[in-house]
Amino acid sequence: MHYDFQWIADHAAEDATRLRLRYGAERAADILQIECRRRFGGKLRHTLAAKPEFVFPTALAGEQSTSDALAAYHSSLLQEGERVADLTAGLGVDAMAMSLKTNVVAVEMEQLKVDALRLNARHLPQLTAVCADCRHWLAEQADKAFSTVFIDPARRAADGGRVYALTDCEPNVVDMLGQLRRVCNRLIIKASPMLDITHTLSLLPDAVRVIALGTTTECKELVIECRFDATVVEPTIEAVTLTPDGEVVSRMQFLRSEEVSAEAECAEPSAGMWLYDPYPAVMKAAPMRSLGSRYGVYKLAPQSHMWLSANRVDDFPGHAYRVERVEQCSSRVLKQLANQRLKASISTTNFPMTADALRARLRAADGPARLFASTDAAGRRVLIFTSPFTPTT
């Protein structure tokens, strides 16, 4: 298919719907590129900057694509010189990132996506795109043909609804384990962050590591590493938090056995202390006792996910806030605060009101301060007023 990239650049700021009304089918392919650049330019800004003539085969391919930051992390798991197969290439962002480091065969069953990938990867000599159903393609490969196989099973059912369990995704990677053990030494699975880690590991006896991968605001995915050439007694659990550009903000590794044996003490919040809200990837990995012993911090309450310390812990894997004051929550206090018209973001946990309900009760507006409403170790409902920590440069 021919694309007029000069026309695309000239009309990049225009509304796609209006362009379709004006030009119709004549410019449908070019208008799709404008629309996709607008919708997915944030997560693929490095790809688009490096490849001005990048082609989106469909809008759905852009929607389902991994981001540049996550693709860079996936690539970091590889060693130079490996023989790699990406069995569910899709738009090919992962495969292209990996091919900057080593040789990659990108397998995709939709011809339209394969054509786009070949066009987008025409200057990447270490990437080969193949149109095939990966299950049939694997059957034709030699034993140990690859060092590593990467797979990101589709999370949509035949009716278009979302699915999450590995056994419900397409292809069913659990059913493919026999084939995969034959053709590679290592398997990397990209999976939904909605999965239960313990249950997922029970389906993958060769798993050596599971990584909860996210940003400072969202857990994006689970990455599960299986090794078919090694025996591991207990898989490592890891929480990795990235910046939007893919730099690692924090990393924490632990074992479930460590978590079971760890003890976490509680502390009463007071002005001058530091309060920590773990990053979403940490919350997913759930080292909810190990955090205390690892970083010397205290829980707000036994079932709380918030932590406290007298002195700031620089490397705690989460947001840090300075406690300005603590109020016991009561109708009188809520009424007084409502009259003050607070300006603060509000979070509630282990508290009888939602954040939106409390915000309405307090008639609060958004602001730089942060109010945490929770229940402490003594069972008292508390309002913890904080200011966020901003690192100096």
**Which pLDDT tens digit goes with each residue over 135-160?**
999 999 999 999 999 999 988 766 67
Same domain, 101 and 242: yes
- The whole-model pTM stands at 0.92
CA distance 104 to 97: 10
Q: Which of 319, 360, 364, 361 is nearest to 344 (CA)?
A: 364
Same domain, 160 and 266: no
Which SS3 state, helix, strand or coil, does residue 74 take? helix
Residue 86 lies in a domain: yes
Residues 6+ positions from 302 with CB-CB distance below 8 Å: 264, 266, 377
CA distances (Å), origin 304, targets 148, 166, 352, 375 = 40, 30, 14, 8
Residue 393 lies in a domain: no
Query: Of the residues 232, 254, 276, which one is the last residue of a structural domain?
Result: 254
Same domain, 31 and 89: no
3-state secondary structure 253-308: EECHHHHHHCCCCECCCCCCCEEEEECHHHHHHCCCCHHHHHHCCEECCCCCCCEE
Same domain, 141 and 235: yes
- pLDDT at position 233 is 84
Same domain, 288 and 275: yes
Cα end-to-end distance, the chain, whole Å: 49
Please give the residue range of the domain that contains residue 303: 260-388
Same domain, 233 and 299: no
Same domain, 225 and 267: no
Residue 371 lies in a domain: yes
Same domain, 208 and 100: yes
Residue spans of the chain under pLDDT 50: 393
DSSP single-letter state for residue 134: H
Same domain, 108 and 248: yes
Residues 6+ positions from 184 with CB-CB distance below 8 Å: 85, 144, 145, 146, 147, 148, 149, 228
Residue 392 CB-density burial (10 A; 0-12 exposed, 13-18 middle, 19+ buried): exposed
- pLDDT at position 158 is 66
CA distance 153 to 129: 18
CB 279 within 8 A of CB 250: yes
- pLDDT at position 177 is 97
Query: Of the residues 254, 286, 304, which one is the last residue of a structural domain?
Result: 254
Residue 225 lies in a domain: yes
Residue 118 lies in a domain: yes
Query: Of the residues 229, 254, 279, which one is the last residue of a structural domain?
Result: 254
- pLDDT at position 393 is 41
CA distance 349 to 352: 8
- Counting the structural domains of the chain, the total is 3
Same domain, 146 and 87: yes
Residue 156 lies in a domain: yes
CB 66 within 8 A of CB 190: yes
CA distance 316 to 249: 10
CA distance 383 to 269: 10
CATH number of the domain enclosing 353: 3.30.2130
CA distance 54 to 120: 6
DSSP single-letter state for residue 4: -
Residue 308 lies in a domain: yes
Same domain, 85 and 216: yes
Same domain, 103 and 237: yes
- pLDDT at position 163 is 79
Residues 6+ positions from 250 with CB-CB distance below 8 Å: 239, 240, 241, 279, 282, 315, 317, 318
